[in-house]
Amino acid sequence: MNNHGGKIYFILALHNHQPVGNLDEVFERSYLQTYEPFIAVLERFSGIRVALHYSGSLLDWLVEKRPDFIRRLKRLVDGGRVEILGGAYYEPILPAIPDEDKIGQICLLTHRLQELFGVEPRGMWLAERVWEPHLPRPINQAGIDYLAVDDTHFHDVGYTNLDHYYRTEEEGYPLDLFPINEELRYLIPFKAPEETISYFKEHRDEQQRLFVLADDGEKFGGWPGTYESVYEKGWLEEFFTLLQEQEDWLQMVTFEDYRRLFSPCGPVYLPTGSYREMKEWSGGFWRNFFNRYPESNRMHKKMLAVRKRWESLPEGEPREQAQRLLWAGQCNCAYWHGVFGGLYLNFLRAAVWQKLLQAEKMIDEQLQAPPYLLLQRGDYGYSGAEEIYISTDRLSLLFSPQLGGSLWELSWKPAAVNLLDTLTRRPEAYHQEYLEQAEAPRGSGEQATSIHHLRAVKEEGILEHLFYDPYPRGALIEHFFEEGGSLEEFEKGSIREQGDFLMQPAEVELERLPDPGEGEGVQITFQREGRLKENLPLLLKKIVTVYAGKDRFQIEYHLVNRGKDDVVLCFGIEFNLAFLSGSDDDRYYVIPGRELEDRRVGSRGTEEAVPELSLVDRRRNLSLALCWSRPALLWRMPVEAISLSEGGLERSYQQSLLLPSWDFYLAPGESGTVNLHLQFSGAAERQP
């Protein structure tokens, strides 16, 4: 070990964030376990200097709920103890949003920090450290001079001695980059404080060297086991004490301090990347999440479509309000999944949809008076397949002819809710790890472990609920079953389809309907010529009718026997409807004239001869009534995903699956029909 040599400079930077739509109890718990205790310890150590970042969504909560914390933080800033970092206000993944929004969100947070702390940050936090080479230009144009990225970015282009900071540029716009040390990410705060000091000593030589730890602030109290180790057992106090004791050769500085002392090296040009774990989750490129998770892609492309329409708004307050809603809908957490809940947390997805739908409604009402109806055809998912989008003053509907005319957005604008904010259950890499070696939850006496290494479970026997969906979960998905099939077989994926209709391409025709006195309408006809078992030809025709100004729409089904023999078939229509919680008594089914043993939307069961039912959500003040022209055998079940979160493997409700079905006997040339009506209303207005 070399105990002699040059000075080591150490930057400790913490990123603190809570996503748009997160539960208030999570904000409160994070404040009590992470944000406040860290500042309380920092206040007692006058020789410690740190850089701190707070996202705009977290700052909004702190200002409203904990204003004294803001005052305490300002005193530390005024005393030169804390460098406040900027960033994009609602913590978007910068490469996933337009450059104008990058600049606008960064400037918005800068102005907020000026108001609260009297400083104009020159450095920023890069959300999830997702870097792409074009970023220096918009970041520089937003007034930012530097940020931190992971050392893996540098390793990918051959850099080994990362003991300084570097300058890059894009089109002549410069930006300074500080490499984050991955080894420190796993030492702090998971190993004894002495191990970090030893690490610094081992890497000390005759030259001055820089080490940067820039990571989630929630590691200091919010991750499992860390509150006990960091605060109750005194890890942070001991760490700060040791740092102060080594101040003759180990100096804590902020980014701005170090830039005043030393000039950057460069130029350097880094490839696309993020931290090592993120590259593993995404397959090396963050935007792969849009391909891996169609649910994420639909949110992202909805955001882009709403933003494009926003560009048509004239200057004024509605334009600014719609822009803030749109920016809030860019918050990154619901768009991807790694070790945290992310995309699997339905309330985060719902919050994104809510902001985007509120922005869309505001934009459309500024551009045209209700009732109105917009009809568009195009490749909105950028998949190469055409989709059909209908937007009225009441509803937003997205159909996929490529997938049999199935429905992928069902938004009711008065409540700003998309009931097709659903999730398909799919394999995750950690599922196999748990199946091979499931570990019991870590005991309270053990040392805190990095969240990337936890293998805890939140529920005994959880792997028994691990199911995967054989096709995407949307609505208006048609099935042909063998007689006698059961809900249990359907849930496990063992029920057999008796035709070639499921999610297969359909021909489509569009027809504008005359104004019936209240608003114009549109009729979409999807048609597929297919075959049932034993090669029996069948025509499936689905006609969807939507009118402006209406909270309802209807679907007509026609099944035509094209063969020369009689046909006996069981025809079902699948709906997946997202109601946030399956166990909440304020979210429930209503079947007129019947008392369900368990009426919550997370219940399962089979009901015979059902003419209609409603799903009621009193929390969000909406009800959806589904009526059909002939009584149906009705299956209902919750769709629950098994995903990894901070605390371990957990089961989470994603949506309720409904499947009404009917038996048909069709002679050659005969047609069977079923008509459906879907009607939205406020929860208090629900009438069967």
Q: pLDDT of 431-451, one tens digit each? A: 888 887 654 444 444 555 544
Task: Using alpha carbons, select from 631, 554, 629, 630 the residue that is nearest to residue 594.
Answer: 631
CA distance 76 to 78: 5
pLDDT for 429 equals 86
| Alpha-carbon separation of residue 264 from 31, 55, 168, 176, 261 (angstroms) | 36, 27, 10, 7, 10
Residue at a domain's end among 226, 256, 286: 256
Is residue 293, in this structure, part of any structural domain at all?
Answer: no
Is residue 313, in this structure, part of any structural domain at all?
Answer: no
Q: Angle at Cα 277 formed by Cα 272 and Cα 282, nearest 5°?
A: 60
CA distance 111 to 114: 5
> Which residue, chain included where needed, has tokens 């920016």?
327
> Which residue, chain included where needed, has tokens 């459906």?
676
Q: Which long-range contacts (CB under 8 A, 24 or more apart) does 315-323 make?
A: 318/362, 318/366, 319/366, 321/362, 322/359, 322/362, 322/363, 322/366, 323/104, 323/359
pLDDT for 335 equals 98
pLDDT for 435 equals 83
* Amino acid identity, position 83: E
Torsion region of 283: left, alpha or beta (phi above 0 gives left; psi -120 to 50 gives alpha): left
Q: Is the peptide bond before 189 cis (omega within 30 degrees of 0)?
A: yes
Is residue 279, in this structure, part of any structural domain at all?
Answer: no
What mean pLDDT value characterizes the chain? 94
Mean pLDDT of 141-148: 98
Q: How confident is the model at residue 492 (pLDDT cuts 50, 70, 90)?
A: confident
Q: Which range marks the domain in which residue 595 is found?
A: 429-436+464-685
Residue at a domain's end among 228, 256, 284: 256
Active site residue 216: yes
pLDDT over threshold 60, residue 108:
yes
Are 550 and 520 a contacting pair, CB within 8 Å?
no
Are 40 and 234 a contacting pair, CB within 8 Å?
no
pLDDT for 437 equals 61
State both tokens at 40: 């309380």
pLDDT over threshold 90, residue 6:
no
Q: How confident is the model at residue 162 (pLDDT cuts 50, 70, 90)?
A: very high
Are 578 and 418 a contacting pair, CB within 8 Å?
yes
Are 253 and 53 a contacting pair, CB within 8 Å?
no
Are 2 and 204 a contacting pair, CB within 8 Å?
yes
Q: How is 221-278 classified by DSSP, letter by letter? A: TTSTTHHIIIIIS-HHHHHHHHHHHTTTTEEE--HHHHHHH-PPB----PPSB--HHH
Mean pLDDT of 205-210: 91
Q: Is the peptide bond before 267 cis (omega within 30 degrees of 0)?
A: yes
The size of the chain, in residues, is 688
CA distance 104 to 114: 15
Is residue 399, in this structure, part of any structural domain at all?
Answer: no
Residue at a domain's end among 256, 282, 299: 256
Is residue 413, in this structure, part of any structural domain at all?
Answer: no
pLDDT for 445 equals 46
Supply the CATH number for residue 644's domain: 2.70.98.10
> Cα 267 to chain center, whole Å?
36
Supply the CATH number for residue 93's domain: 3.20.110.20
The single residue of 216, 238, 386, 491 carrying the catalytic annotation is 216
Is residue 544, in this structure, part of any structural domain at all?
Answer: yes
Q: pLDDT of 512-554, one tens digit each? A: 998 777 689 999 999 999 999 888 999 999 999 999 999 999 9
The single residue of 91, 101, 128, 150 carrying the catalytic annotation is 128
Mean pLDDT of 267-282: 94
pLDDT over threshold 90, residue 185:
yes
pLDDT for 451 equals 45
CA distance 40 to 33: 11
Task: Using alpha carbons, select from 661, 659, 660, 642 the residue that is nearest to residue 651.
Answer: 642
Rounded to a whole number of angstroms, the CA Rg of the chain reads 28
Q: pLDDT of 602-643, one tens digit each? A: 999 999 999 999 999 999 999 999 999 999 999 999 999 999
Q: pLDDT of 552-606, one tens digit each? A: 999 999 999 999 999 999 999 999 999 999 999 999 999 999 999 999 999 999 9
Q: pLDDT of 461-490, one tens digit each? A: 888 888 899 999 999 999 999 887 899 989
Is residue 296, in this structure, part of any structural domain at all?
Answer: no
Look at the chain and report how many structural domains it folds into: 2
pLDDT for 648 equals 83
Task: Using alpha carbons, select from 479, 476, 574 the residue that is nearest to residue 526.
Answer: 476
pLDDT for 19 equals 97
Q: pLDDT of 228-256, one tens digit each? A: 999 999 999 999 999 999 999 999 999 99
CA distance 415 to 429: 36
Out of 231-240, 277-286, 301-310, which region has the weakest mean confidence (pLDDT)?
A: 277-286
Are 22 and 222 a contacting pair, CB within 8 Å?
no
Is residue 417, in this structure, part of any structural domain at all?
Answer: no
